[in-house]
Structure 1
Amino acid sequence: PEQLSGGMCNRYPWGNMFEPARTNLSASGVGQTTPVREYPSGATPNGIYQMTGNVWEWLDDPLETIPCLPSEYFQSWKPLRRIVGGAFNTYFPSEATCQFVTGQGELDRRENIGFRCALTLGHLQPLP
């Protein structure tokens, strides 16, 4: 998420203060997923939508450590992948910051986890 926000890492894509009207977390009161462009004021400076909220974003990166937890903790679990950004049912806004890291089993499926398709910038074509 830090790279997608132009290299800077505020707590949220729009700044450091949580504002429920900018993202689909539990505080917004929606209680389900929404269309990607539903929260335009929550986009990054680069124009990327929903880097927080709606669904946790499943990353291809393995989750092998979390600060303050011993590495032995992860050896007893199935392989984990990083998920970031929070979801429509995330209660604590601090879990939707770019600093928050958590994981999910790589074969687990949930209604509040998704993924983002991305292309190298040079391969994009302008919209008509």
Structure 2
Amino acid sequence: MPLVTKWTGREVKALREAARMSLMEFAEKLGVSDRIVSRWEADGEKSAIRMVNQAALDTLLAKAERDAQGRFVGILAADDVPMHPVIEPGEAETSSGEYVKHPGDGKLMAHVPEGIFLAGAEDDPVWVDEFYIDTFPTTNADYARFCAATRRQPPERWENGRCPRELYDHPVVHVTWRDATAYAEWAGKSLPTAEQWEKAARGTTGRTFPWGNQKTAAKCNVRETGVERTTSVSRYHSGVSPYGVYDMVGNVWEWLATPTTPGRYELRGSAFTSPLFRGFPAVPNDASDMMHDDDTGFRCTATRQQIQSRNR
């Protein structure tokens, strides 16, 4: 469950919108007037919320459905209000769980230090240079901004070219490898190599899954979970990788930069349509660069140099 250290009007508004409540409904749940909620939201981060109301907000968030909790995190992330410490490129070397905000598309990126990790089914030692990787897969909201900026054709399943609002924080699907590459170039990023993606998912010690070696389907959106559709990219908090990266198993397959044969590229991570054993981060899949499906999306990586060049 997401935690809030101190509630302000910004978090209040995010929770109300995530819960799909009107001001009146939300105020009734909290036991306050709708005018108070409206004032909190209007004051934003400057609002002063009493401790008794802070506690009531904690309870309301804890009792919210998982999808609503996921939307809450997604709304805050979309509004550039990260729920984790943020570092800036150029600072001292960082440990796992630390993030930067990319200046191109504004997404949170996790820092992965340089070094050796155990790769593949045989846990072979492989060196990977330092890089940053998107904390969450590219969402429909992210891709909509890209389409608006570049006039690229939106995914075919969007009705009248618009993504339904309730899917804004779900991963974008029905994108080809070429679509994913175009987004990465627009944002000043790259698609991950197979080695980058696997290290971000498994860490350095050869763990089977991002969360460890236990075959626990409840930590991700796979066939055994029974959801049978995409979910919010921030839903599975207990399934994050050692670097704090979400959805490295399940939800959607992710395009990589690594080719297998001419015109075909690696995919990793499995999807809501896949059994858990297909989600081993060490095991690759591949597809034609023109393939698109309802269970295939992507995320991006960036070097320190790429981030710094966009900051200039």
**TM-score interval w.r.t. the shorter chain?**
0.7 to 0.9
Among all aligned residue pairs of Structure 1 and Structure 2, give the percentage whose two residues are the same amino acid: 33
Instruction: Please name the residue that 1:119 is paired with.
Output: 302
Match of 2:255 among 58, 64, 67: 58
Instruction: Please name the residue that 1:82 is paired with.
Output: 266
Instruction: Please name the residue that 2:209 is paired with.
Output: 12
Name the CA distance, whole Å, in 2 between partners of 1:104 and 1:60. 12
Question: Which structure 1 residue ranges, 4+ long, deviate > 2 Å from structure 2?
Answer: 5-9, 117-124
Check if 1:2 corresponds to 2:186: no
SS in 1 for 2:224: helix
How many residues align? The count is 110
Instruction: Please name the residue that 1:34 is paired with.
Output: 231
**Equivalent residue letter for 2:291:** D
Query: Contact between 1:79 and 1:106, CA under 8 Å: does it hold in 2?
Result: yes
Name the CA distance, whole Å, in 2 between partners of 1:23 and 1:121. 30
State the TM-score, normalizing by the size of structure 1. Answer: 0.77
Q: Which stretch has the larger CA shift, 6-15 or 16-25?
A: 6-15
Check if 1:109 corresponds to 2:292: yes
Where does the alignment leave 5 or more consecutive residues of structure 1 unmatched? 65-77
State the TM-score, normalizing by the size of structure 2. Answer: 0.33
Where does the alignment leave 5 or more consecutive residues of structure 2 unmatched? 1-196
Report which of the two has the higher share of helix. Answer: 2
Query: Contact between 2:268 and 2:283, CA under 8 Å: does it hold in 1?
Result: yes
Deviation at 1:119, TM superposition (A): 3.0
Name the CA distance, whole Å, in 1 between partners of 2:270 and 2:211. 15
**Equivalent residue letter for 2:301:** A
Please identify the structure whose Cα radius of gyration is greater. 2
Query: Contact between 1:54 and 1:87, CA under 8 Å: does it hold in 2?
Result: yes
